[in-house]
């Protein structure tokens, strides 16, 4: 008969059949659990005394069963030590059947858009967590609101208005598990309402193009020039446009003032939706950040923000500030996707924002990243033919290559050989054939100690690669 126990120090479940004797039944149940993998190698077993008490067996019966399985090689028993499941003998693996090696962890992480997670404010987060839990009501641990906790939505309405010029109230904010999910929910709601097309910057983030396509929308490439996205290419037949106006990804240019006005006029006149990805709007280094586009057309812009770049992507916390007509549909889509975003992290972030600890963390990160960007430009632009693009902002810089130097593909291969992780520009174009080449170099991800050697490795690659395999140079208009 099935037996389980809860009063011993370990929980376990066994199907114990004593038809052939209690000891034989216990041996068979343990042997089966080990062979089926329910008791993994190294797993700790209950003491003989505790197991005997819970199963109503004599301790001698349990001891004898353990000894028998130890002799068979299933268990490891030692006087004075806990009994564990033994590791099974490993058969020799043929070369043809060896599993592929796991991807190597890069020695130097210069990927764009990755923050320095070594600077995560652990003590501040822990202190805020303690405060939240100390005053938490029982409903904190119950099922959550698919729209998000009201505490975080209230804190964000104040913070975004104060720091980014966003016009909103808590009832227009939806909390999501990252920007990736938020964009998918928003585009799914648009498609369900009859939208068919979305314009996206070219070049732009290829992963997010896939998100929009999976939601059922056709992606239209929107070209760029020195003033950002060519908003004059939008037509009345375009249902939505996805923009990174504060700091275009990947070229680094902000959307010009006339373009900002033009895209708002387009949205007013056509009913189209502007999706504003403000992924690193807090990080402008030469002056006060330009306010969010949403503040100019609150009823026509879906504003998207995230804690992934300011704190860390593992938190899975992002937010959508929506026109009122879209809130219900997006909340319904969120509920269908995963019911709600994890609650405790929302409350801790709300506490950090309300106490201005979040502001202090962002200001400290801004200062640190500014110094790193300046060092990157000093080092890279000293190399002949290499040019850095974009305003002083964000977490990456686009570096274009000398016309008589190696192509992007060879440089990326050389970087990989030195343990450098970064991205190439080509893959971010809607059609990469014959498009400009370059490297997207992040300056935020390494720790303070790891950043100088990462730059040394990058500059060594850029300075030592032989000419050949040339690609087209970046031109205005992308």
Residues 343-357: pLDDT tens digits?
Answer: 999 999 999 999 999
Q: Are residues 317 and 427 both part of a single domain?
A: no
The two tokens of residue 417 are 């050989």
User: CA-CA distance, 411 to 233, in Å (whole number)?
Assistant: 34
Q: 427-434, long-range: CB within 8 Å, 24+ apart, which pairs? A: 427/206, 428/203, 428/204, 428/205, 428/206, 428/250, 429/202, 429/203, 430/200, 430/202, 430/203, 430/204, 430/209, 430/219, 430/221, 431/221, 434/472
| Whether residue 437 has pLDDT greater than 50 | yes
pLDDT at position 95: 55
Q: Are residues 11 and 127 both part of a single domain?
A: no
Q: Which residues pair with 442 in a beta bridge?
A: 396
Structural domain includes residue 115: no
pLDDT at position 100: 63
Q: Please say which residue of 323, 341, 359 terminates a domain.
A: 359
- Which of 43-52, 67-76, 99-108, 466-475 shows the lowest per-residue confidence on average (mean pLDDT)? 466-475
User: CA-CA distance, 245 to 243, in Å (whole number)?
Assistant: 6
Q: Are residues 141 and 282 both part of a single domain?
A: yes
- Which of 9-13, 374-378, 406-410 shows the lowest per-residue confidence on average (mean pLDDT)? 9-13
Structural domain includes residue 166: yes
Structural domain includes residue 313: yes
Q: Are residues 374 and 454 both part of a single domain?
A: yes
- Which of 52-66, 174-188, 411-425 shows the lowest per-residue confidence on average (mean pLDDT)? 52-66
User: CA-CA distance, 59 to 48, in Å (whole number)?
Assistant: 6
Structural domain includes residue 136: yes
| Whether residue 475 has pLDDT greater than 60 | no
Q: Please say which residue of 311, 333, 359 terminates a domain.
A: 359
Domain count, the chain: 3
Structural domain includes residue 385: yes
User: CA-CA distance, 42 to 67, in Å (whole number)?
Assistant: 17
What pLDDT, in 10s, does the model give residues 8-65? 467 777 878 877 888 999 999 999 999 988 899 999 998 888 888 888 889 999 999 9
Residue 6: which pLDDT band, with cuts at 50, 70 and 90?
very low
Q: Are residues 171 and 268 both part of a single domain?
A: yes
Residue 105: which pLDDT band, with cuts at 50, 70 and 90?
confident
Q: Are residues 332 and 406 both part of a single domain?
A: no
Q: What is the CATH number of the domain that holds 384?
A: 3.90.1150.10
| Whether residue 70 has pLDDT greater than 70 | yes
Q: Please say which residue of 312, 335, 359 terminates a domain.
A: 359
Residue 102: which pLDDT band, with cuts at 50, 70 and 90?
low
Structural domain includes residue 478: no
Does residue 46 come out as left (phi exceeding 0), alpha (psi in the -120 to 50 range) or beta?
A: beta
Q: Are residues 187 and 245 both part of a single domain?
A: yes
What pLDDT, in 10s, does the model give residues 263-278? 999 999 999 999 999 9
Q: Are residues 324 and 460 both part of a single domain?
A: no
Q: Are residues 339 and 436 both part of a single domain?
A: no
For 454-470, the DSSP string reads HHHHHHHHHHHPPS-S-
Q: Are residues 54 and 133 both part of a single domain?
A: no
Q: Are residues 326 and 210 both part of a single domain?
A: yes
Give the residue numbers spanning the domain of 53: 2-85
Q: Are residues 344 and 405 both part of a single domain?
A: no
């Amino acid at each position: 008969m099935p037996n389980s126990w809860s009063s011993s120090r370990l929980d376990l479940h066994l199907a114990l059949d004593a038809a052939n004797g209690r000891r034989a039944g216990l041996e068979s149940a343990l042997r089966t659990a080990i062979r089926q993998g329910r008791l993994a190698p190294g797993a700790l077993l209950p003491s003989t005394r505790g197991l005997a008490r819970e199963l109503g067996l004599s301790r001698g019966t349990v001891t004898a069963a353990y000894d028998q399985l130890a002799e068979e090689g299933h268990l490891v028993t030692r006087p004075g030590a806990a009994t564990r499941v033994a590791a099974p003998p490993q058969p020799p693996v043929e070369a043809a059947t060896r599993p592929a090696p796991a991807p190597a962890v890069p020695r130097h992480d210069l990927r764009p858009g990755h923050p320095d997670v070594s600077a995560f404010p652990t003590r501040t987060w822990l202190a805020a967590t303690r405060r939240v839990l100390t005053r938490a009501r029982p409903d904190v641990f119950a099922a959550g609101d698919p729209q998000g906790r009201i505490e975080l939505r209230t804190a964000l309405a104040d913070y975004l208005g104060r720091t980014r010029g966003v016009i909103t109230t808590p009832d227009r904010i939806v909390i999501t598990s990252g920007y990736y999910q938020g964009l998918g929910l928003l585009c799914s709601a648009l498609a369900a309402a009859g939208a068919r097309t979305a314009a996206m910057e070219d070049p732009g983030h290829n992963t997010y193009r896939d998100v929009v396509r999976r939601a059922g929308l056709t992606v239209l490439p929107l070209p760029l020039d020195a003033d950002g996205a060519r908003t004059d290419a939008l037509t009345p037949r375009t249902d939505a446009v996805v923009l990174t106006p504060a700091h275009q990804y990947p070229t680094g240019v902000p959307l010009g003032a006339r373009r900002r006005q033009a895209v708002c006029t387009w949205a007013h006149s056509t009913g189209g939706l502007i999706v504003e990805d403000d992924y690193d709007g807090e990080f402008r280094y030469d002056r006060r950040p330009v306010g969010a586009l949403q503040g100019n057309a609150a009823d026509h812009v879906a504003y998207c923000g995230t804690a992934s770049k300011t704190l860390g992507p593992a938190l899975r916390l992002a937010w959508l500030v929506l026109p009122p007509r879209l809130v219900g549909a997006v909340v319904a889509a969120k509920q269908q996707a995963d019911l709600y975003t994890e609650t405790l992290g929302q409350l801790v972030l709300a506490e950090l924002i309300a106490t201005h600890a979040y502001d202090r963390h962002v200001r400290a990160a801004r200062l640190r990243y500014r110094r790193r960007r300046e060092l990157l430009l000093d080092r890279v632009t000293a190399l002949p033919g290499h040019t850095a693009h974009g305003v002083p902002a964000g977490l990456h810089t686009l570096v274009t290559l000398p016309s008589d130097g190696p192509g992007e593909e060879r440089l990326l291969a050389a970087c990989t050989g030195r343990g450098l992780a970064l991205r190439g520009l080509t893959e971010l174009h809607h059609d990469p054939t014959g498009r400009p080449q370059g490297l997207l170099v992040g300056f935020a991800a390494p720790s303070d100690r790891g950043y100088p050697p990462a730059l040394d490795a990058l500059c060594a690659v850029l300075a030592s690669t032989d000419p050949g395999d040339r690609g087209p140079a970046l031109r205005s208009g992308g």
